[in-house]
Chain A
Amino acid sequence: MNSNALKWGLLIGTLPIFIALNVMFGSITIPFADILSILLGQDSTSLAFETIIWNSRIPRILTAILCGAAISISGLQMQVLFRNPLAGPYILGISSGASLGISLLIMGASFFSITSFVYTSWTLAIASTLGALLVLFIVFVISLKVKDIMTVLIVGIMLGSFTTALIGVMQYFSSADQLKTFIIWTMGSLDAVNYEEISVITLVVTIGILIGVFNIKALNLLLLGEGYAKSMGLNLSKSRLWIILSTGMLAGGITAFCGPIGFIGIVVPHLCRIWFKTANSKVLFPASILMGINFMLLSDFIAHVPNSDIVLPINSVTAILGVPIIFWMVLGQKKISNSI
């Protein structure tokens, strides 16, 4: 019990540290005194500093927090629903659906000879949301008709492959500039999200997580297998729909504004399982939220290489940072496949 308290303390205690790091460091060096006075609402030596803090760093931190929590929770729910350690937030084809929307927007624009198209974050968000909703809707309808959850999983993966193939065709016919725009979107980004967008993400993520909280009981029952879950009064198709809905909102909402944020959705729930040595969703749910936020804040701090102009793709950072941790933890474990 004591060691668990220590773990919770660590997860919560690192949050302000990582937030502070992200406020203090970035491409531009801002003196510490200025940062303090800006945060306290006083005058600083440069107006540019204020803009950087309030319009770049703070929104980025808020996005990282929302993103880390949302993606980790959708990954956790998918892993339990499909009883598969490789499942993640995008297993149902949400990211490929979103990618299809984006590639239709970017590359399809030229087909309709819309040459002077402006890619705002809103048009990108709407396109990816429509794409993700389309795929999710198909999965939804099928999960209503199909009893076997593995069939749903296969349908999700196949839809993903199908949309990826469509994207491939479009890419073949698109220009180098269009390709670059698309590829950069797939790398994910927490930048360029403004407060208006953050308020939309906050709403979607809050609802998604609230639904997730209501799913915790079902997630634990599903650990025993569907037969037992049903015998304990769980309405399988109903809880399946709520889990898919929550995942769709969380992963879809983030993907719309930040692109498909990979890796942490699969990895964070595993890190929590290994660290807390439990598969109990009552523990994993809050742990994944905290661990996901920490992971995302740290990755974003590294992505904006301090005191340089370099901004690394966030998806590359999460993977480069996460894989060694996973190796270190997994190789120390006997059976990772048995951990769910």
Chain B
Amino acid sequence: MKAPVIQLKSALVGYGHREGVCPIMLPINVSVKEGEFICLIGENGKGKSTVLKSISGEIPYLSGEVLINGKLLPSISASELAEQMSLVLTDRIQIGMITVGELVAFGRYPFTNWLAKMTPLDLQIVHDAMDSCGVLNLKDRYYSNLSDGEKQKVAIARALAQQTPLILLDEPLNHLDLINKAEIFSLLKRLCVDFKKTIVISTHQVELALQAADKIWLINGKHQLIETTPEAAIENHLFEEAFISDKVKFDPLTKTFQLKAI
């Protein structure tokens, strides 16, 4: 049997200090299969980014186990990890005078020689990645001149060019308008279905997540990360528990958040 793409066993995530460790939520137990589209949902400051960074190896987890394709995370070298997992980070890429084509081609760098020479196969992969993300027509434009939505699609194309089975995206929908959010969401879903990519994104778009996600990772008010499906989350009133406010409540019928009083 194939090992799960991502597996967290009693993993404690948070930050280490000189005085000791500072976990920010209860131990996490999740398992992700190939081709699954996972949406990580939770309020600001509840630790979505910390979970993703612990899976991507950017920060060390405190205890327990994080396994990528069955291998314990700290034992995977950076170059090995680059072949298994690609990232789309929250921090905007500040880059001037680099074309979309060049930026997407950077995704091939882990596989090129010391001079980063592109083979015809590399160029084909870059071309296909741009095509899949609908940015092929932007190939010769400077990345810095693009709109936010276009930039995000290019960032995803770069991750796709890395040809990793797993892609992590940290709040890829921030600052995007409704149409762009929907386009990115359906693009990611398509990558899961068509290319068997495993994708984990953190997002605040609960409504969209409920329609597209295979699984929801919900961080609730009790600092638990709950692995669930969209249907189960609604049935068990998990969103009502996770988002407690006197201004807004989740309506299970319409699967949307409604203002309580204006």
Contact = CB atoms under 8 A, between A and B. Distances in A.
A227 B115 contact: no
A300 B42 CA distance: 63
A214 B114 contact: yes
A240 interface: no
A33 B109 CA distance: 54
Most chain B Cβ neighbours within 10 Å, of A214, A217, A235, A340: A217
Interface stretch (A106-114, A125-133, A275-283): A275-283
A234 B83 CA distance: 12
A227 to B, nearest CB: 5
B15 interface: no
Given A214-B114, A233-B83, A335-B96, 9 more contacts: A217-B109, A217-B112, A228-B87, A232-B109, A233-B80, A233-B109, A273-B96, A279-B96, A340-B96
A273 B87 CA distance: 28
Contact of A339 (B86, B96, B103): B96
Interface string A263-300: 00000000001000111101000000000000000000
A168 interface: no
A273 B98 CA distance: 10
A224 B58 CA distance: 16
A83 B91 CA distance: 15
Interface in A1-52: none
Nearest to B164: A231
Interface of B: 56, 58, 77-83, 85-87, 89, 91, 93-99, 102-103, 106-107, 109-110, 112, 114-116, 144, 162
Nearest to B103: A224
B97 A221 contact: no
A273 B142 CA distance: 13
Interface of A: 83, 213-214, 216-217, 220-221, 223-225, 227-228, 230-235, 273, 277-280, 282, 335, 338-340
Contacts of A217: 109, 112, 114-116
B109 to A, nearest CB: 5
A220 B91 contact: no
Contact of A231 (B87, B93, B98, B102): B87
A235 B89 CA distance: 18
A234 B77 CA distance: 10
Contacts of B97: 273, 277-279, 338-339
A233 B116 contact: no
Contact of A280 (B91, B98, B112, B114): B98
A282 to B, nearest CB: 7
Contact of B82 (A216, A231, A340): A231
Nearest to A274: B97
A232 B107 contact: yes
B114 A279 contact: no
Contacts of B93: 224-225, 228
6 contacts: A220-B106, A221-B109, A223-B106, A224-B93, A230-B58, A231-B56
Nearest to B99: A278
Most chain B Cβ neighbours within 10 Å, of A224, A273, A277, A338: A224
B114 A231 contact: no
Across the A-B interface, give the 3 residue pairs with the lowest CB-CB distance, nearest first.
A233-B82, A233-B79, A338-B96
